[in-house]
Amino acid sequence: MQVDELSRTFAALADPTRRALLAQLAHGSAAVGELAKPFDMSFAAVSKHLRVLENAGLVSRGRDAQYRPASLDARPLRAAAAWIDDYQQFWSDSFDALDDHLATLTDKEKQ
Amino acid sequence: MQVDELSRTFAALADPTRRALLAQLAHGSAAVGELAKPFDMSFAAVSKHLRVLENAGLVSRGRDAQYRPASLDARPLRAAAAWIDDYQQFWSDSFDALDDHLATLTDKEKQ
DNA sequence: TTGGTATAGAACTTATTGGTTGAATATAGA
DNA sequence: TCTATATTCAACCAATAAGTTCTATACCAA
């Protein structure tokens, strides 16, 4: 790998399929077959995404008969949140508040 | 691009060079030449990284004579922080603390 | 207008990513 | 032991990413 923990965490989060997998796992452990259902892609592809999440430390795998249940491990997110929080002042400074508010409104219009 | 805002944000943050660029910009706008100094890479490479950050909405560019100063725009980080914060309970719940501790020990045994 | 400096663009290389399909492995159950 | 189910592995492909070098552009200043 050769790349630092924080980079692996952000890279893992950069894919919407993987974020959706984490969201599912937030409701509890699940096996690959269960996790793959919402996605229009092969089990093998989901298995690969789980491997990426595992390498980022965001999920751990177990064994239950034929199943390899995945479970969420959110700890790496703490460092990611800490990194981002260092920039909070740059979006929450009072002189930015109006800009932020307007941007929020604009974003909502786009949807 | 074809990829959502949050994915672009996380992807932009997944590279340590780009995170370092943002850290520099937190101290104020700077031109490419200035930003490139700490890195052992060509100006063109830094310019490309800035383009990625720009496409993620994290920096905006200006013009000052020959210079193209970049400045930080942290607003996309707010959505990223919000996404991560949904998982905060999974690393801070008191009833998870023991689990976490045990998992850490188990991981260490594996190595 | 000529030259110097800052930056971006274009073309290229190499490595990685995200997907596929088909074979292999692990486990449960008859 | 045989078979079905769940998952991973291996090989492959196309697209993207991260870097390079060289060229082009934009601006200032003499």
CATH number at residue B37: 1.10.10.10
pLDDT of res. B93: 65
pLDDT of res. B111: 40
As for how many domains chain B has, the answer is 1
pLDDT of res. B16: 98
| Domain enclosing residue B84, as ranges | 5-110
Over range A58-81, report the average pLDDT: 96
pLDDT of res. B101: 53
pLDDT in tens, B46-97: 999 999 999 999 999 999 999 999 999 999 999 999 999 999 999 886 455 5
What does DSSP assign to residue B30?
B
What does the alpha-carbon distance between residue B37 and residue B33 come to, in Å, rounded to a whole number? 7
Chain B interface, mutation test: which of A4, A5, A8, A10, most B Cβ atoms within 10 Å?
Answer: A10
In whole angstroms, D25 C1' to B67 CA is 13
In whole angstroms, C10 C1' to A84 CA is 35
* Placement of tokens 């590279």 in the chain: B15
Q: Which chain A residue is nearest to residue B10, measuring alpha carbons? A: A14
What does DSSP assign to residue A73?
-
Asked whether strand C has any atom less than 7 Å from the CB of B41, the reply is no
Structure tokens at B26: 């937190």
What does the alpha-carbon distance between residue B86 and residue B81 come to, in Å, rounded to a whole number? 9
Nucleotide nearest to A64 (CA to C1'): C27
Of B41-45, B91-95, B106-110, minimum mean pLDDT range:
B106-110
pLDDT band at A88; cut points 50, 70, 90: very high
Planar angle of CA A87, A92, A95, nearest 5 degrees: 120
Asked whether strand C has any atom less than 7 Å from the CB of A48, the reply is yes
Looking at per-residue confidence, does B106 or A22 come out higher?
Answer: A22
Q: Which chain A residue is nearest to residue B7, measuring alpha carbons? A: A14
Strand partners, A63: none
In whole angstroms, D11 C1' to B68 CA is 46
Contact A91 B80 (CB under 8 A): no
Contact A7 B16 (CB under 8 A): yes
In one-letter notation, the amino acid at residue B82 is A
pLDDT in tens, B19-28: 999 999 999 9
A72 SS3 class: strand
Cα(first)–Cα(last) distance of chain B, in Å? 40
pLDDT band at B104; cut points 50, 70, 90: low
Looking at the predicted structure, is the pLDDT value of residue B107 above 70? no
8 A C-beta contact, residue B74 and residue A87: yes
Contact B10 A7 (CB under 8 A): no
Asked whether strand C has any atom less than 7 Å from the CB of A33, the reply is no
Over range A94-107, report the average pLDDT: 52
